[in-house]
């Protein structure tokens, strides 16, 4: 086959599935509201079950629910009838996915679920099926035809089911008042988690790693301090250990351009006074924007009395994935 037929086939699939998803909007009705209320009232977890391709979609729906404030996990219905059914408690809600509504492995575990008094929500292409009839809420995810030209491989139907799952998850997210910070707490290893949960005090250099000199220190000694600590800057403090200035690699270049005698000058004569600072309880993501706005590569962390507690540069933020 040449490229044009491939392109045409691909576009036809996208168009058909987009049409199927668009038609789903008309089915966000009272049943959808009832499903949301049932899930919000769940005192346990949402247990998602599904076989085959529906199972793969169910796993993604469970993951989306769990990461957006609704505790959920996936159970394979074939394994459920061989012991995994013990994972389900009376406080849970089961979300069963079956396009036909007649998946044998799901129907097998329904009597146990019903006997436990567990609420059952189904996503099915046939709400009049046995699964649909036994459900407390049946959500219609039927499609007129699959994108597969044989009308056999689950394609449009799985896309529509996934969209319905996303609709449930987002509706619940909004109802719970779920925030970016809540999302970050369930993704501490991800970029968003680092951006939203990492504070300056968590990554700043402190103690013996802190470059610090007195304002009467010679420029030569200050340069040795900068070289030893490796941050490309040093804080300059007064007798009360309060920050009065900063000296950086950039300041050194300017000092040399001005012809200043490095061996004779005092750090007080060449430092930048009243430098930009931050506090330890500030989010690292905020400091990134501050440094960009001020066009600086590093700054010092101070307390309420302007005493130096730590140091931070752009490399630290890059290393932690905040930038």
Please give, one letter per residue, the 3-state secondary structure of the chain. CCHHHHHHHHHHHHHHHHHHHHHHHHHCCHHHHHHHHHHHCCCCCEEEEECHHHHHHHHHHHHHHHHCCCCEEEECHHHHCCCHHHHCCCCCEEEEEECCCCCHHHHHHHHHHHHHCCEEEEEECCCCCHHHHHCCEEEECCCCCCCCCCCCCCCHHHHHHHHHHHHHHHHHHHHHCCCHHHHHHCCCCCHHHHHHHCEHHHHCECHHHCCEEECCCEHHHHHHHHHHHCCCEEEEECCCCEEEEEEEHHHHHHHHHCCCCCCCCEHHHHCEECCCEECCCCEHHHHHHHHHHHCCCEEEEECCCCEEEEEEEHHHHHHCCCC
Please check whether residues 230 and 109 belong to one and the same domain.
Answer: no
- Looking at the structure, do residues 14 and 118 belong to the same domain, yes or no? yes
Let me know: does 267 contact 275? Beta carbons within 8 Å. no
Residues 167 and 209 in one domain: no
Asked if the structure places residue 192 within a domain, the reply is no
Of the residues 124, 148, 178, the one at which a domain ends? 178
Main-chain phi, psi angles of 217, to 5 degrees? -65, 145
* 156 and 46 in a common domain: yes
Same domain, yes or no, for 141 and 227? no
**275 domain residue, yes or no:** yes
Instruction: Please tell me whether residues 135 and 266 are part of one structural domain.
Output: no
Residues 67 and 170 placed together within one structural domain of the fold:
yes
Shared domain check, 164 and 210: no
Distance CA 53, CA 156 (A): 12
Q: Decide if 187 is inside a domain.
A: no
148 and 249 together in one domain: no
Range of the domain at 271: 200-319
Domain for residue 207, yes or no? yes
Q: What is the pTM of this model?
A: 0.64
Domains in the chain, number:
2
Asked, for residue 267, whether it belongs to a domain, the answer is yes
The set of residues, in sequence order, having a beta carbon less than 8 Å from that of 99 and lying 6+ positions away, is: 54, 124, 125, 126, 141, 142, 154, 157, 161
Question: What's the CATH code of the domain at 23?
Answer: 3.40.50.10490
172 lies in some domain: yes
Both 172 and 204 in one domain: the answer is no
Rg (CA), the chain: 30
Judge whether 136 and 120 are in contact, CB under 8 Å.
Answer: yes
CA distances from 258 to 18, 112, 227, 261 (A): 66, 85, 21, 9
Residue 106 domain-assigned?
Answer: yes
We report the CATH number of the domain holding residue 209 as: 3.10.580.10
pLDDT in tens, the chain (323 residues): 456 688 888 999 999 999 999 999 999 999 999 999 999 999 999 999 999 999 999 999 999 999 888 999 999 988 877 667 888 999 999 999 999 999 999 999 999 999 999 999 999 999 999 999 999 999 999 999 998 888 878 899 999 999 999 999 999 998 888 766 666 566 555 555 556 678 899 899 999 999 999 999 999 999 999 999 999 999 999 999 999 999 999 999 999 999 998 889 999 999 999 999 999 999 888 898 899 999 999 999 999 999 999 999 999 888 887 76
Give a yes or no: residue 19 inside a domain.
yes
Q: Which residue, of 178, 208, 242, is where some domain finishes?
A: 178
How far is the first Cα of the chain from the last one, in angstroms, to the nearest whole number?
46
Q: Which residue, of 120, 146, 178, is where some domain finishes?
A: 178
Three-point CA angle 312, 313, 318, nearest 5°: 115
Does 134 share its domain with 238?
no
13 and 155 part of one domain: yes
């Amino acid at each position: 086959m040449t490229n044009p037929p491939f392109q045409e086939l691909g576009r036809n699939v996208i168009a058909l599935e987009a049409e199927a998803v668009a038609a789903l909007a008309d089915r966000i009705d009272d049943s959808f509201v009832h499903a949301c209320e049932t899930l919000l009232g769940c005192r346990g977890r949402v247990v998602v079950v599904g076989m085959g391709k529906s199972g793969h979609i169910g796993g993604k729906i469970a993951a989306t629910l769990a990461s957006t404030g609704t505790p959920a996990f996936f159970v394979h219905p074939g394994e459920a009838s061989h012991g995994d059914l013990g994972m389900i408690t009376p406080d849970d809600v089961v979300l069963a996915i079956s396009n036909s509504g007649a998946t044998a492995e799901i129907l097998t575990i329904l009597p146990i679920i019903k006997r436990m008094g567990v609420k059952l929500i189904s996503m099915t292409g046939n709400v009049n099926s046995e699964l649909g009839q036994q459900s407390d809420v049946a959500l219609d995810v039927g499609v007129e035809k699959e994108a597969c030209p044989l009308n056999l491989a689950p394609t449009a139907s799985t896309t529509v089911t996934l969209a319905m799952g996303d609709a449930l998850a987002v509706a619940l997210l909004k109802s719970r008042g779920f925030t970016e910070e809540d999302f970050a707490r369930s993704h501490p290893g991800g970029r968003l988690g680092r951006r939203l949960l990492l504070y300056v005090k968590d990554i700043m250099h402190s103690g013996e790693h802190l470059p610090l000199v007195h304002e009467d220190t010679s420029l030569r000694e200050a340069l040795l301090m900068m070289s030893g600590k490796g941050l490309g800057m040093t804080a300059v403090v007064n007798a009360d250990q309060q920050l009065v200035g900063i000296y950086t690699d950039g300041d050194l270049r300017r000092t040399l351009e001005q012809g200043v005698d490095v061996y004779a000058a005092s750090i007080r004569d060449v430092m930048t006074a009243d430098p930009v600072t931050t506090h330890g309880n500030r989010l690292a993501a905020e400091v990134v924007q501050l440094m960009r706005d001020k066009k600086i590569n590093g700054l010092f962390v101070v307390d309420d009395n302007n005493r130096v507690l730590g140091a931070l540069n752009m490399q630290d933020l890059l290393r932690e994935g905040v930038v």
